[in-house]
Structure 1
């Protein structure tokens, strides 16, 4: 039976692969088919790659937009109270030592006694000084007698010279002897004065009006001058006005200047304050403590302030105009100095430099190009930069000095 396909009509556009063709034509047709397939596969790959890149771009852009919390700056208080420990010292204080060797015969003042300038505090026995003074006075009298004789001799020889009874050489020798005897007498007198001054040191006197704050003098005790380990016989303090010294940390030193009023709190007077005024600063930062020494003065008419007392000093310093408060965590510290990161209305970051006026730890007082309406990023990453996109997820309440104090407590 003949094959059925031999009677089916053929489409002239179809290629019968089973038909025997020349080798070159078959290879050409096969290459065309492969090229078309490759183009289709390549197009599909490019389309898939473009879709993947677009997806990754959207994902990366979304990841680059960080979520941040912001806080608005708050105006600083017009006055800032800075509390620092201080030490009260007397207006003048003198440790009184003996200026001559001897024994304490008696002491005439004790601790707490009010004394006046030149008032005797103690009397010493110095027999060596007394005897040396007696000998010096005798030597002085001898020197005076010798000078008197030399003066008489020189006068006589001068008269004889006018009569040509003696030579000029002999007269000059007598005049020279008078000058030498005069010098010896002057030296003896100076020694007498020195020993009289030493004898005067047998009476220990108060150098100024004040109160005796310490006494180490004991009757019969040996006093030796020049002994560095010896205790002063007395300490006298002038307490009509007091000095208060405070070590101010470098951070706060710019706030304080002469004329600022402060109040003193002492533990022995609860509920009572004493007024003081800052009069001078050291003007230099101590390398070891990192602080500036300042001096305040306070009137002490009622004698309530005591030398050596501890006190809490409240400085009533005026706040700087335009000063804002921010959390300490909002400050970035870089090579250019402290700065903040501010979020604009378009969600982009602007980094601004600020100046720290006072650092209280969790609250920082700053000045710079910022106002209460700025959205400052709290705890910004170190890598944050200008133009970076962020997304604000939380607005924190503004922080003030009062709130900081409440948190600290």
Structure 2
């Protein structure tokens, strides 16, 4: 066709307008693009964003879980005169364990746990037939020794009389001097025989006394007035004299007065004086104070604990104070300076020494400390700690030097009044 020739009129197979995509094709193309973008996001950007958010959350939770510590500031009581309260142990004023001194079987028990006894009271009886038989034999030997002594004395008197008669006869010339000397020698022998018989009798009597004492050991008696606080035997049980390997037969305790033993720290030791007043308190008796006085001290500090062992005696007429109880003892003492007090849970003792963890500038710092006294729920620190320090109350093994932490204040540890 000639390009200059016009289109044939009425021919509808030719569209002079430009070609436009249909709506369906456009929708399909958009859907493919959207799916491709979604796949790209799913495999790339979104997981990275989610991972970063998760990491930030884990880090925040880790910081809140590991690095949060409770701290407390040390307290210090004022120096001077005042009461210091220390933990002590209550002991009987007199106590002993009774072991058997005779061998045999326990025939009878006359007392039991908790019974009050008097001095000399029979506690038990041991059946020891061998000692009884030996005693009877010894008594027979004493009777024989007495008879032998009587015979020796009779022979001595006879020998003396013959020696005197022969001495008279030799002067008259009726017997020879040799015969007179022989009679005098027999008299001397008879005297020696009497001495030997007397010694034999004394030995036999001593053996009887020894066996009688052994027989008395079969009767077990209380050495002093007190209470039976332990019983370790039963009727029919075999016991051995002098054996301390097993349990004691009985334990007798005298508790009308009790001893309270307390270890006084070095800082207060110079102020301890015999005769000074002391007050004992127990949780079991709220509101009640037991009055006593210092009876004695060890006179020297323990080289390991640097404390002075002190005994306080307290009247206990109603037997309210029991041996073995834990008590709080308050002493009125003088001191030049007072240590710092922190909770005892803050103390860490390991191969690195005696240390405490403190928070300084938001980080953990470990301090080497010297303990002046262990007071139970708190310790007295002599050196190594400042009064303004923030002490970690319960340090864990995960706390390392320089570790960043978040400190929260715990209740302030109580300082003892005046001490």
TM category, shorter:
0.5 to 0.7
Say if 2:133 is the partner of 1:124.
no
Pairs within 5 Å for 1:236-247: 236-247=252-263
SS at match of 2:327: strand
Say if 2:98 is the partner of 1:89.
no
Question: 2:105 maps to what in 1?
Answer: 103
Q: Which runs of 5+ in 2 are unaligned?
A: 1-75, 167-179, 342-371, 389-411
Q: Which runs of 5+ in 1 are unaligned?
A: 1-73, 329-356, 365-376, 380-402
Pair 156,254 (structure 1): closer, same or farther in 2 beyond 3 Å: same
Cα distance, 1:232 vs. partner?
Answer: 1.1
Question: 2:203 maps to what in 1?
Answer: 187
Question: 1:200 maps to what in 2?
Answer: 216
Question: 1:161 maps to what in 2?
Answer: 163
State how far apart, in whole Å, the 1-side matches of 2:380 and 2:153 are: 91
Say if 2:242 is the partner of 1:226.
yes
* Maintained 8 Å contact 2:298/2:309: yes
Normalising by structure 2, we get a TM-score of 0.59
* Maintained 8 Å contact 2:274/2:297: yes
Pair 151,112 (structure 1): closer, same or farther in 2 beyond 3 Å: same
* Maintained 8 Å contact 2:100/2:243: no
Pair 88,325 (structure 1): closer, same or farther in 2 beyond 3 Å: closer
State how far apart, in whole Å, the 1-side matches of 2:295 and 2:273 are: 8
Question: 1:312 maps to what in 2?
Answer: 328
Cα distance, 1:361 vs. partner?
Answer: 7.7
Cα distance, 1:289 vs. partner?
Answer: 2.3
SS at match of 1:123: strand
State how far apart, in whole Å, the 2-side matches of 1:186 and 1:285 are: 54
State how far apart, in whole Å, the 2-side matches of 1:174 and 1:149 are: 10
SS at match of 2:299: strand
Question: 2:278 maps to what in 1?
Answer: 262
* Maintained 8 Å contact 1:252/1:358: no
Pair 129,186 (structure 1): closer, same or farther in 2 beyond 3 Å: same
Normalising by structure 1, we get a TM-score of 0.60
Say if 2:187 is the partner of 1:171.
yes
Paired residue total: 270
Pair 237,363 (structure 1): closer, same or farther in 2 beyond 3 Å: closer
Please, what is the CA RMSD of the aligned residues?
Answer: 3.1
SS at match of 1:193: helix
Cα distance, 1:270 vs. partner?
Answer: 2.5
Question: 2:414 maps to what in 1?
Answer: 405
State how far apart, in whole Å, the 2-side matches of 1:141 and 1:227 are: 34
State how far apart, in whole Å, the 1-side matches of 2:195 and 2:298 are: 56
Alignment match of 1:141 (pick from 132, 143, 151): 143
* Maintained 8 Å contact 1:285/1:292: yes
Question: 2:34 maps to what in 1?
Answer: none
State how far apart, in whole Å, the 2-side matches of 1:407 and 1:147 are: 80
Pair 184,252 (structure 1): closer, same or farther in 2 beyond 3 Å: same
Cα distance, 1:327 vs. partner?
Answer: 7.9
* Maintained 8 Å contact 1:92/1:237: yes
Deviates more, 1:302-311 or 1:185-194: 302-311
Alignment match of 2:313 (pick from 273, 283, 297): 297
